[in-house]
Amino acid sequence: MLKDCEPKTPPVGKRIISSIVATTFDPLGLISPVVVVYKTFLQQLWLHKLDWDEQLPSELLNQWMDMYLQLSQVNETAVDRLVLAKGQPTEIQLHGFCDSSEKAYEACLYLRSVNQQREVTTKLLCSKSRVAPVKKVTLPRLELCGALLLAQLIQKTVPALNLKTDRILLWTDSTIVFSWLATSANKWKTFMPTEFLRFKN
């Protein structure tokens, strides 16, 4: 009789996991490599077509428990917010990088500064990450989406910095992206701009 009155533990489902992931506050994307892993896991739950409060299958549940235990370690991460070199900077550069995989794509910005003593300081400024869509997209297109994400990140970050930058350099390891960017836009089919719009916030 008393056993039936005991409170039952709610099943670990998509609703609880979504709530936990949503509590991660990271506006600058300083831990985006961690956050994108949890977003990728959420995407797996959608692919399994689970209801919001349906108990996870044992395989996914074990995977989630391991991820949940590691999530607490994020609070121990310390990030130095002094991104400029000590003293009076004589040179400031912005370096942006973008990359992608079959699961996600990301862009990040580093600020490189040199002071009067010629000491060089390079610090992570911000980053953005996106999970690849459920519908299969080729890796070259995802690389292009990463380049677009980097361009959008630059456009939003530079005015907010209120710093005079001497150089802005954007980097990618995709030769296909270089070829696409060098090609005249009138050669592209209509899918190119619609692809961009689909990934735009």
Q: Which of 41-50, 88-97, 103-112, 119-128 has the lowest mean pLDDT?
A: 41-50
- Of 44, 50, 62, whose CA–CA distance to 13 is shortest? 50
The CATH code that applies to domain 89-199 is: 3.30.420
- What average pLDDT does range 104-124 have in this prediction? 94
Question: Which of 3-12, 16-25, 51-60 comes out lowest in average pLDDT?
Answer: 3-12
More confident residue, 104 or 188: 104
The answer to whether the CB of 129 falls within 8 A of the CB of 105 is yes
Asked if residue 114 has pLDDT above 90, the reply is yes
User: What per-residue confidence (pLDDT) applies to 189?
Assistant: 62
Residues of the chain with CATH 3.30.420: 89-199
Measured CA to CA, the distance from residue 125 to residue 161 in angstroms comes to 10
> β-strand 104-115 against 89-100: which pairing, if any?
antiparallel
- pLDDT greater than 80 at residue 199: no
pLDDT at 70: 85
- The model's pLDDT over 130-183, given as tens digits with 9 standing for 90+, comes to 999 988 888 988 999 999 999 999 999 999 988 899 999 999 998 888 888 777
Q: Check pLDDT > 50 for residue 3.
A: no
CB atoms within 10 A of CB 15: 15
- Please determine, for residue 193, whether its predicted confidence score (pLDDT) is greater than 60: no
